[in-house]
Amino acid sequence: MARIVHALHNSASGLRTAWRTESAFRQEGMLTLVMLPLAFWLGHGGVERALLAGTVLLIPVVELLNTAVEYTVDRVSLERHELSKTAKDMGSAAVLLTLVLAFVVWCTILLSHF
């Protein structure tokens, strides 16, 4: 039980830090607060609701991972290096693809209702 409490404390600390320091995470968090209830209201059935909600929740998850990559690269060295740039660019690309995935899923499901 102590391990679970410790893990929850670490997770909460990570969320607080991301919220305080990362404007993209705050923007995506606000988007999530709006879109998540809409996912349950607009989705017809469990599968649609899960797809709509899941793609919305995936965005801040990937943003957190991207931020972790950026922090790690910066911790190793602030010196400009092509591999550091590539790692950061790939993290950013992962966020972009997650946004595209959410957009496609939402459009596909919502357009099928009309």
Domain residue ranges of the chain, discontinuous segments joined by +:
2-112
Number of H helices, E strands in the chain: 4, 0
Q: What span, in angstroms and rounded, lies between the C-alpha atoms of 16 and 81?
A: 30
Local structure of residue 79 (DSSP, 8 states)? S
The H or E element spanning position 111 is: helix 82-112
pLDDT of res. 41: 96
- Under 8 Å CB-to-CB from 48, ≥6 apart: which residues? 42, 109
pLDDT of res. 77: 87
| 114 residues of the chain, pLDDT tens digit each | 999 999 999 999 999 999 999 999 999 999 999 999 999 999 999 999 999 999 999 999 999 999 999 999 999 988 899 999 999 999 999 999 999 999 999 999 999 988
pLDDT of res. 114: 83
Written as six digits, the tokens of 111 are 């357009």
Tell me, yes or no, if 63 is annotated catalytic: yes
Catalytic residue among 22, 28, 48, 63: 63
pLDDT of res. 106: 98
Query: Does the structural domain 2-112 have CATH classification 1.10.287.3610?
Result: yes
Q: Determine the longest span between alpha carbons in the chain, in angstroms.
A: 53
Report in angstroms the alpha-carbon separations of 90 from 37, 57, 100. 30, 20, 15
